[in-house]
Every structure is written in C-alpha cells, then in structure tokens.
Structure 1
Amino acid sequence: MGHLSYQCDKLLGDKEIITFLQKQHFDITILDAFNPCSFILAHRLGLHYVAFYPGTLNGPLSIALPSPLSYIPVFSSQLSDHMNVWGRVKNLFYSFLAPVGQELIWSTFRDVAERYLESGSTPGGLEELYQGAELWAFNTDFSLEFPQPLMPYTVLVGGLLNKPAKPLEQDLELWISSIGEAGFIVVTLGSMVSSVSVDPLLVELVAGFSRIPQGVIWRYDPKRWPSHLNRPPNLRLVDWLPLNDLLGHKQVRLFITHGGQNSLLQAVYHAVPVLGIPLFGDQFDNVVRAETKGLGLIISPTHITRELLSSTIQTLIQDTRFKSSALSLSKIHKSHPVPPALRLIQWVEHVLHSGGGAHLRPASLTQPWYQRYLLDLVLLLSLGLFGPVVLCWTFCRNKNSRYKHKKIQ
C-alpha cells in the first residue's frame, strides 16, 4: 500500500495527465477498488464511479453488507462458512481487527488525498470513499463464493476472463502428445516465486514433480532458474503460458495455483481440480473456498515436502470426487442466465440511464456503526430494564440501613 500511495502521489501531481483526463468529460468511471488511489482520482476528477473489486465479498470493508459472523468469514481468517465454536471466536476476533487494518491502509493515502483534493471534499477515510460508489461489482459468483446476503448495489461478475479454449500452438501440442495418457499438470504460482529466493521450496517442488507420471508445465522464467537445480524430464518451464487454453485441454489433469481469484474461476469454468499453494493476501481465503467446495486441496508452502506433494497430486487425480465436484461447479458457473461481461455492462448502463445508483443504496450505508448494530437501542433497553431494578435495590438497601440504625438506637 505504501508503494501504491507513492504512485498515487506521482499521478495526481502530474498536471498534464490530470488536465487531459478532465477534458474528456467522462460519464462514469469503473475503478479498481483494491487501490484506494482509484477513488481519490475519481474524486479529483469529480466523476461518478463504479467500484470493481477483484476478489471475494469479504475483501472490502465498510460497505454495509449484512455479514453475520456465525457463517460469513472475515477477510484473512481462512475460515469456511461452517465454523465450530473456536472458529466463531476467531472470526469475532478478526472482525475487531478489520477496521484497524482499514485505518492503517487509509493512513498511507491520507496525506495524498489532503494534498490534491479541494478543501472540504477530502474524505474522512476509506469508508466514505467506498460509500460514494454508485455500484459495487465483485469478481466472484456463487459457484465459488459462500452463499450470503447481498445488497441491491452489489453485483457478482466473476469469470470475466473465462472463455472456451482455443487450439494450442504446435510445440505445446507435440509436448502433450509425447506425455501420453497420463496427461499433464499446469503450474502457475505467480511472479513472486520466480523473482525471490525460495530455493528450499523449489527443491521440494521439483523433487515432488519428478515422482509423478504426468507432465508438468510451469510458468517460471527459465532465465531465473537456479543453475544448481536439475529439471526432471517431465518438467517444462515457460515464461508465459496460455492458461485458459491449457485448462480447457482434454489431457489436463490438475491445476496447481497460488490461489488468485481469476485462476480459480478459470479452473471452475473448465472443471479442473486444483491444488492450492497460497502465498500472499487474499489467496489464503480463496483456496479455503475452493477446498470447501470440493474443488481441490491446500498445502501450505511452509509444509511442502516432496512426499506430501506427490501423494496429494495423485489423490487429486485419482479420487473421482474432485473431478465430480469440479464438473458440478462448472455447471453452476456456466448456467447463469446472463454471462458475467454482459451482466456488468447491463448494470453500468442501468446506473447511467437512471441518473446514478442512489436508489440502490440503503440507509445503513450512512448510519453510524452503533446504530447499524442497534447498540444504542441495546443501551436504552438495558437502562430501561436495569434502571428500575438498581433504583429499587438502592431504595431497599437505604431503608434497611435506616431500620438497622434506628433499632441500634
């Protein structure tokens, strides 16, 4: 967030870019709701905006979504929607920490907002920026997301990148053909793995892959591969791969992923079981959803051994329950009456044609938190209930004290 704040300062301080944007007279902007700078820029330009959040529903705070803690996990809790007592205790604890985290994020952008926004229009925090959105669009749907209440200003558009697979290039097809009926596994663990020193993890991954009969195609920059680490014959490294087309191939058996939301939704679309190895941010929560839905299993990167990796891969490939669940989730995802891209377009047009999204936003968005949770009412009822009891107890105690004093005299 500190890096994003630095970028934000440079962007808003560039008068040429800001002047150019102001002259465009945009009707509305669709912004990346993960980056607070997007909201600040929209305010700077005086634009109405639709917030697109790239993750699940529990990511953004302060948008007044009904979120009962008994079955809706708080961001970063790594819980499912089925919690035992200790799970609910953990969820409650994380709910207290969540506003603190939001304030820490906003603290890195406050100076930038105050520097470039007009006096009197500076937001008081992320909450005010979030509440100004005409609509919230989330990159998820209920094939992967836990069922929960929504509000009229929320729309789920998960799967924007999903599409039928295209034929692969000839060299990839030849490589897949050379593997035979065992099929192949796709591995994408993000750019972090190939840009930082994680030799112990690489050693165990490679040793685990060497134990399985399937071919493994791994998005990993070959130029950064450690020179001391030999690659087994069934492992192919590429600096880029056509993920959608590989996941849609008839010979694919498994997808090993860090748990990015787009990657998981593509696995759902193509009905490919997944092995989640989360590394950062929302990935931990994302893979919990995938495992809970029966799409796959999780291995913590700190717990990976060659034995565990190879045995887990074989379990996911050989146990037909995972493929069956993947097919079921794919059917749910594809059978939505309106495709995600068209869904987003229709909602944006609705907001434009109706003059904004005010009719979609409930009063709870502007209520203080203590009113939203009826804490003021609880206090009032408590005073009304216990006040007379306390007065009666005090009166009786005083009367008893006077009686004892009189008796002693």
Structure 2
Amino acid sequence: MSSHRSWLLVSFFLLEALCLEAAKILTISTLGGSHYILMSRVSQILHGDGHNVTKLLYERIVMPDFTKEKPPYQVIKWYLPEDQQKKIHNREHRLTEELIYGRSEHHTLLKVHEHFGDLCNHLLRRKDIIEFLKNENFDLVFLDSVDVCSLLVAEKLGKQFVSFLPTIFSAMDFGLPRAPLSYVPVYSSGLTDQMDFWGRVKNFLVFLDTSMKRREAISQYDNTIQEHFAEGSRPVLSDLLLKAELWFVNSDFALEFAHPLFPNMVYVGGLLDKPVQPIPQDLENFISQFGDSGFVLVALGSVVSMLQTKEIIKEMNSAFAQLPQGVLWTCKDSNWPKDVTLAPNVKIMDWLPQTDLLAHPSIRLFVTHGGMNSVMEAIQHGVPIVGIPFSTDQPEIMVRVEAKNLGVSIQIQTLKAETFALTMKEVIEDKRYKSAAMAAKIIRHSHPLTPAQRLVSWIDHILQTGGAAHLKPYSFQQPWHEHYMLDVFLFLLGLTLGTLWLFVKVLKSLYRYLSGVRKVKKV
C-alpha cells in the first residue's frame, strides 16, 4: 500500500511538472568545497526538471575532481583581476589553515568575511556580468545562504530567491525568528535538545553572544554595500534572508533534533545520493584479504586532506595498524611523509568511490571530518562513524551524531594513536552504534519522495503560485520584542504592579480612616 501511495505521489508531481512552463533559474556558486558540489547538484536537478538553468561560478573554486565536468546548462564564470589573483589566493590558503587549526575563532571568521567581502566587491564591479544577468530576466535565483555575496547579487537583480542551507538547521541563525531556546540548541553551543537548567542558561547566553558576533561579521560587507547600492536603497543584510521564498535545509530528521519548522522550510538532506556502482577490482581484492573483519573507510574531506600535518598522519597511521580491519584512506601520495612507513593493513589513494564503499557489505566504520554530506551518506547506508571535526559546522554536526548514538567524536588536538585505536574498536564492536545507524537509515529512507523530488516539487509550487507569501508566517515581519512577546509581558507586569500599588494605597487609606474613626470614638 505504501509503495502504491508513493507511486501515486511521484506520478502527481511528474504530471504537475509537465504542466509547468520551463522557468529561467540562476544558481550562484562563489564558495568552494562541499558548497560547490551541492550547488552543482542542485543545478543538475533543476535542469533535469526541465528548467533553463544558468550557474554563476567563481572560477577559482572549481575542485580538481570536477575540472572535466561539462554541464548541460549555461555557466557564467568570473575571474579575479590578474594583478589580484596571487595575493588573494595566498590569503585564502592562510585563512583555510587558520580555520582548520585555530578551531574557527571569531577573529579568524571576521577575516574570512572580510576576505569574501573583498571578493564580492570584485564581482559586483563586473558590470558586464551584472548587466548580462539583469537582461536574462530570471524567474528565480537559487543561492547558498552561507554565501553572503549571492544575497547581494539577488538583491542587485531584484529577483525572488530561494535559500539553500548546506548544513544543520541550527545554523539558520541569520536573524530569523527562532524556535524555543528551551530545547532547540543554538549553533556553536555544543548542546543537545535535552538541556538541564544550566544548559538552558548556556544556550541563552550563547544566543546573545552569537547574535552580537553575527552583526560584527556581516558588517564586513558594509563597504561593498555602500559602493554598489545607492543611498536610500541599501539593503540591510540581517533582513535579506527573511525575503527568501523557500528555505531548503541539507539535513534530515534522522540526524536532527525534533523542532518546529515553518511551512517554507524543507529538509532535502541526501541530494548527493546516487545509485551504487560496483567498486574497482583492486579495491575488492584489498577488502577480501581481511575476510569477516571487513574494512574501515577514512575520508577527511578535500580541504582537510590537503592540510593534514605530518604529526596527524603519523598518529592516524599508527592507530590503523592496531586494527584487524583493512583501512582504505583518501590521502594523496604527495602529502605522505617520506619518513613514515605505511601500515601493512592500510591502502592510501588520491580518490576513493566513497558512496560505493559506504554501501559495501564489508564496511565496519567510517572515519570522517564530520562534514554534512559525508555524515548524510553514512546515514544513507547505515554505517557507524568516528568523527574528527576540524572547523566550521563539523563539531556541531558531531554533537548530533553522538546524541543519536551514530558514532563518537575525537578532537584533533588530542588525537593520539592509542586512544584513537581504542575509540575505533569501541564503535566497531559495540552493537548499539550499528543498531542506531541502521535505525537512522530506516528513517532516512522512509520519505515517500526523494530529496531531489522534494526540492523540484516545492520549486514548481512557488513558480506556479508566484512566490511563497502564503507560506511565510507574519512573525518574519515582527520586531524582536513583539516576536518574543516582551511588549505583552511588560504591559501585564506593569498592569499587575500598578494594580498592586493601587490596592496597597487603598488599604493604607482605609487603615488611616479606620484609625481616625477609633480615635474620635475614644475622645
């Protein structure tokens, strides 16, 4: 019955899509790594749904594995001026190292926003690109909410836009009305949804702190706004995201804590899912050597893999040598220290088919940096996790992984071979982790529509209806004191105190009157 219902739903959405005229959609990708991969996937999905897609791409962010891509949609590339390229590229590398090894301290994040503000300035100065985009007269802009510059481009074009959040829900702190702080943890708090009194105190204080830090971060774009928007029509960045027609969140309730969602917020975690393919024979031969012990997959993300230090590689290699499993590790030969001997049960490769290996029946553990896409892929295939979070959203993602018993987190600053090996053995041997991973897999697979189907059906819906005004709650327009009912609270408090004051005054007057009457009688 459920499969029949799913088929009817899919058929309905397909029929609805056929009735729609193709829309002109602009996708914007000015951030690298997983942001670029996700926006490329979104562009492919929208193109496959019959829309005319154009992608605005910052050429510098194209990753090596994707340089040979020939997308079927139009791509508009922009480059930095030649005299600026070396200087800015060196700054990018330095900031990346600071983010990874400095644990995303606030002053580093401010420098990152300042850097992206400068890049945005270069983009908006390209009058040829901006005028071309204006003349295209797009029906909709699809942007990455972490990419502040894409918001300014959408505002410059004066077009409706859809916002894509590439990470967990709690990162949606961009001035949007919040879910209750009593059980929805603030991003960077390190808390779960089960908070005691002091946890709620911490959550509230972190909320105040991050609100102030966010204002400081977005102020790094003030010069860009002043240069490219006329006085009187300059946008307020903290208000721009409230204008999004839809919010797509790259997550799933298999990972997230349960919380309220507004009607225009949709989970689409798992967009990168693809059909599983047989793995290459050389990898199959390596895995078969370890029989029932199986193998461990190690992939720490493209950026982290390039910046692993000799000490980290040495400790990890020594830990892997203590496992009975084989280990497949994404690590470039060029990054491997010459004085470190590769453990006999370890095979390193520049690239591994991650999805196909996660689906392999002999996999026992996934060692990851805790990136959103990697964690979603592990959930997709029911594989337990040991996370080594480096920076940005990774520590917060691993909080959820641990809370759901999907795995264990280990800090890079304290990573030593002995404890790392013990942690991996615990997650492999303790059946509760595998059970929790399989339960999350069931939740993840139970949706009647795939993430891609959910995305295109909602896009088609707002194209048909001319926007999502009917989905946006009035709270988006309320000032914060109204949203949190502070005006009502203060009114009732004042009314109560005023009533008490009046009551006391009446009692005092009555007391004085009665005292006066008694004195008269005595006389």
* TM-score (normalizing by structure 1): 0.93
Q: Contact 2:173–2:187 at 8 Å: present in 1 too?
A: no
**Could you tell me which amino acid in structure 1 is paired with residue 337 of structure 2?**
P
Aligned residue for 2:391, secondary structure, equals: coil
Q: Which whole-Å CA distance do the structure 2 matches of 1:65 and 1:338 have between them?
A: 28
Q: CA deviation at 1:396?
A: 8.1
Specify the alignment match of 2:162 in structure 1. Answer: 50
Q: CA deviation at 1:179?
A: 3.2
Bigger relative contact order, structure 1 or 2 (CA pairs below 8 A, ≥6 apart): 1
Aligned residue for 2:413, secondary structure, equals: coil
Say whether residues 1:241 and 2:343 are aligned partners.
no
Q: Contact 1:65–1:151 at 8 Å: present in 2 too?
A: no
Say whether residues 1:117 and 2:197 are aligned partners.
no
Specify the alignment match of 1:214 in structure 2. Answer: 325
Say whether residues 1:196 and 2:298 are aligned partners.
no
Say whether residues 1:81 and 2:210 are aligned partners.
no
Q: CA deviation at 1:395?
A: 8.5
Match of 1:138 among 225, 241, 249: 249
Q: Which whole-Å CA distance do the structure 1 matches of 2:220 and 2:176 have between them?
A: 23
Change (3 A) 1:367 1:306: same
Specify the alignment match of 2:374 in structure 1. Answer: 263
Equivalences, count? 404
Q: Contact 1:56–1:138 at 8 Å: present in 2 too?
A: yes
Specify the alignment match of 2:120 in structure 1. Answer: 8
Specify the alignment match of 1:40 in structure 2. Answer: 152
Aligned residue for 1:294, secondary structure, equals: coil
Q: Contact 1:165–1:249 at 8 Å: present in 2 too?
A: no
Q: Which whole-Å CA distance do the structure 2 matches of 1:116 and 1:6 have between them?
A: 12
Match of 1:227 among 332, 335, 338: 338
Q: CA deviation at 1:359?
A: 1.0
Say whether residues 1:31 and 2:143 are aligned partners.
yes
Deviations 1:83-126 (A, max 9, x none): 22222221111111121122122111122122212433322232
Match of 1:152 among 263, 272, 280: 263
Change (3 A) 1:5 1:239: farther
Change (3 A) 1:63 1:333: farther
Say whether residues 1:186 and 2:290 are aligned partners.
no
Deviations 1:277-305 (A, max 9, x none): 11111111101111111211111112222
Q: Which whole-Å CA distance do the structure 2 matches of 1:153 and 1:374 have between them?
A: 23
Specify the alignment match of 2:398 in structure 1. Answer: 287
Q: Which whole-Å CA distance do the structure 2 matches of 1:100 and 1:398 have between them?
A: 50
Specify the alignment match of 2:183 in structure 1. Answer: 71
Deviations 1:216-259 (A, max 9, x none): 11222220222222211112222222111111111111001111
Specify the alignment match of 2:103 in structure 1. Answer: none
Deviations 1:160-194 (A, max 9, x none): 01233211122222222233332111111223444
Say whether residues 1:361 and 2:487 are aligned partners.
no
Q: Contact 1:253–1:273 at 8 Å: present in 2 too?
A: yes
Correspondences of 1:83-98 after superposition (within 5 Å): 83-98=195-210
Aligned residue for 2:341, secondary structure, equals: coil
Q: Which whole-Å CA distance do the structure 2 matches of 1:197 and 1:271 have between them?
A: 27
**Could you tell me which amino acid in structure 1 is paired with residue 193 of structure 2?**
D
Q: Contact 2:144–2:163 at 8 Å: present in 1 too?
A: yes
Specify the alignment match of 1:406 in structure 2. Answer: none
Structure 1 range deviating more: 188-197 or 105-114:
188-197
Specify the alignment match of 1:173 in structure 2. Answer: 284
Match of 2:133 among 21, 24, 35: 21
Q: Contact 1:65–1:149 at 8 Å: present in 2 too?
A: no
Q: Contact 1:66–1:150 at 8 Å: present in 2 too?
A: no
Q: Which whole-Å CA distance do the structure 2 matches of 1:149 and 1:334 have between them?
A: 21
State the identity as a percent.
40
Match of 2:454 among 319, 332, 343: 343
Aligned residue for 1:254, secondary structure, equals: strand
Structure number with higher helix proportion: 2
Match of 1:100 among 202, 212, 234: 212
Q: CA deviation at 1:60?
A: 1.9
Q: Which whole-Å CA distance do the structure 2 matches of 1:268 and 1:375 have between them?
A: 41
Q: Which whole-Å CA distance do the structure 2 matches of 1:228 and 1:400 have between them?
A: 94
CA RMSD of aligned residues (A): 2.3
Structure 1 range deviating more: 204-213 or 222-231:
222-231
Q: Contact 1:64–1:364 at 8 Å: present in 2 too?
A: no
Q: Contact 2:189–2:202 at 8 Å: present in 1 too?
A: yes
**Could you tell me which amino acid in structure 2 is paired with residue 198 of structure 1?**
T
Aligned residue for 1:50, secondary structure, equals: strand
Q: Which whole-Å CA distance do the structure 2 matches of 1:175 and 1:25 have between them?
A: 54
Match of 1:297 among 404, 408, 411: 408
**Could you tell me which amino acid in structure 2 is paired with residue 261 of structure 1?**
M
Aligned residue for 2:270, secondary structure, equals: coil
Q: Which whole-Å CA distance do the structure 2 matches of 1:327 and 1:388 have between them?
A: 59
Where does structure 2 lack aligned partners over 5 or more consecutive residues? 1-112, 516-523
Change (3 A) 1:226 1:193: farther
**Could you tell me which amino acid in structure 1 is paired with residue 356 of structure 2?**
D
Aligned residue for 1:232, secondary structure, equals: coil
Q: Contact 1:103–1:125 at 8 Å: present in 2 too?
A: no
Change (3 A) 1:400 1:302: farther
